[in-house]
């Protein structure tokens, strides 16, 4: 047996292992100490170690470093780097800062799981940006009705920036909206969501129509161009003009981005029971582009922003618990959340550390 010293999160962990053990077996032992290989890997002298190598190759005095997996380590590092910075009236060491950091550390593996999903997760679910009420209101929707959902841009000066494509902002919005063609309906996820609810019967009868038949899922929006190429923004399936009923004769939802009467219009047009799912999703897609644009201009990392966003949520929860300790609350912020990943973090944080939270309206179906 050899004694192995491993540095992890600034602390030293010593474990015993057979000299002929592989690095893979060493990782299994580390998992039993709370450091699973899904989130961690071993380095020696800055080099990632292959799990098939023998511990004996490195000698008894080697110092190993257990690091977060490189695919999402930047998010993790930037987040905790922010924990070392003063935030206005909340300097490092402020009781509120200490509280939220201890909360997060107490659920480190769950926190890491969402961090990893932020970097490597599957975001292809058509309902990833929707609210639960979109499913619950479905039975009252009139079949055969074509509607248009329009996004309202309320930020002062934003339309001018988009019109001028400032910093490629309009290009980024078009790219984000065009990417919705790669989100597909997942029947099993919707079935699991409505199971045991009054709307279950309705959705079971409508799965083929809205989600597509088994094995051939429909996409959130139409994936191909129909009509003149000049009607579309280059390289996208987004119309550069207003859409009408004649444009959706195939029953698919189409997106339009166009300027008219001094205003930028961002719209989803299609059968009511499908285009309704674009209302919150379209809003979130544009909001995320604007957030990323804003962070780039400020030179702020996603991890830094995430720390501050979670900290603000913590302050709100603490205020509610102090002033209204018996009041129950639900989270209805998904449609205005600047990043889908924060919607996950926000909901997770409230469910873990705000005992009066009774749930969320967000359908975060990308995690299934």
Average pLDDT rounded to a whole number, residues 54-75: 90
Distance CA(68)–CA(108), nearest Å, equals 12
**Please, what's the b/e burial string for 43-55 (b: 16 or more CB within 10 A of its CB; e: otherwise)?**
eeeeeebeeeeeb
| pLDDT at residue number 258 | 96
Beta bridge partners of 153: none
Which band of pLDDT confidence, cut at 50, 70 and 90, is reported for residue 335? Answer: low
pLDDT at 157: 84
Read off the pLDDT of residues 309-328 as tens digits, 9 standing for 90 and up. 999 999 999 999 999 999 99
Do 361 and 133 touch, CB atoms closer than 8 A? Answer: yes
Angstrom distance (rounded) from CA 274 to CA 180: 13
Strand order in the sheet with 40-44: 11-17, 2-8, 63-68, 40-44, 47-48
Note the pLDDT of residue 368: 39
Domain borders along the chain are 2-70, 74-122+299-367
**What is the C-alpha separation between 24 and 159, in angstroms, rounded?**
54
- Residue 195: strand, helix, or coil: coil
Is the distance from CB of 38 to CB of 116 less than 8 angstroms?
yes
Stronger pLDDT, 94 or 1, i.e. the higher one: 94
Q: What percent of the chain has pLDDT over 70?
A: 98
Architecture of domain 2-70 in this structure? Roll (3.10)
Give per-residue pLDDT as tens, 281-304: 898 899 889 989 989 999 999 899
Q: What radius of gyration, in Å, describes the C-alpha atoms of the chain?
A: 24
Residues 41-52 have pLDDT tens digits of 999 999 999 999
């Amino acid at each position: 047996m050899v004694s192995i010293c491993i540095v992890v999160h600034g602390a030293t962990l010593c474990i015993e292992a057979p000299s002929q053990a592989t690095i893979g077996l060493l990782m299994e032992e580390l998992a039993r100490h709370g450091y699973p290989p899904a989130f961690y890997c071993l380095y020696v002298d800055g080099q990632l170690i292959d799990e098939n190598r023998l511990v004996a190759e490195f000698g008894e005095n080697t110092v190993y470093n257990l690091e977060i997996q490189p695919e999402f380590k930047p998010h993790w590092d930037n987040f905790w780097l922010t924990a070392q910075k003063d935030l206005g009236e909340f300097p490092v060491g402020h009781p509120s800062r200490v509280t939220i950091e201890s909360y997060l550390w107490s659920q480190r593996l769950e926190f890491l799981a969402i961090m990893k999903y932020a970097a490597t997760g599957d975001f292809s679910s058509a309902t990833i940006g929707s609210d639960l009420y979109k499913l619950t209101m479905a039975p009252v929707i009139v079949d055969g009705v074509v509607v248009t959902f329009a996004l309202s841009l309320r930020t002062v000066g934003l339309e001018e920036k988009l019109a001028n494509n400032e910093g490629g902002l309009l290009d980024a919005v078009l790219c984000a909206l065009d990417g919705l063609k790669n989100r597909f309906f997942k029947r099993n996820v919707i079935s699991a969501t409505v199971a045991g609810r009054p709307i279950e019967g309705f959705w079971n009868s409508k799965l083929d129509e809205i989600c597509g038949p088994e094995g051939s899922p429909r996409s959130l929006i139409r994936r191909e161009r129909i009509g003149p190429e000049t009607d579309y923004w280059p390289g996208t399936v987004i119309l550069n003009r207003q859409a009408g009923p004649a444009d959706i004769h195939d029953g698919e939802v189409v997106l339009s981005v166009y300027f008219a009467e001094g205003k930028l219009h961002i719209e989803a047009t299609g059968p009511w029971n499908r285009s309704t799912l674009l209302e919150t999703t379209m809003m979130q897609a544009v909001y995320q582009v604007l957030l990323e644009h804003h962070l780039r201009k400020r030179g702020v990392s996603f991890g830094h922003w995430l720390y501050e966003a979670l900290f603000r949520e913590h302050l709100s929860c603490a205020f509610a618990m102090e002033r209204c300790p018996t009041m129950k609350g639900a989270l209805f912020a998904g449609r205005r959340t600047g990043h889908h990943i924060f919607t996950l973090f926000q909901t997770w944080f409230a469910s873990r550390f705000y005992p009066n939270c009774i749930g969320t309206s967000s359908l975060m179906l990308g995690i299934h």
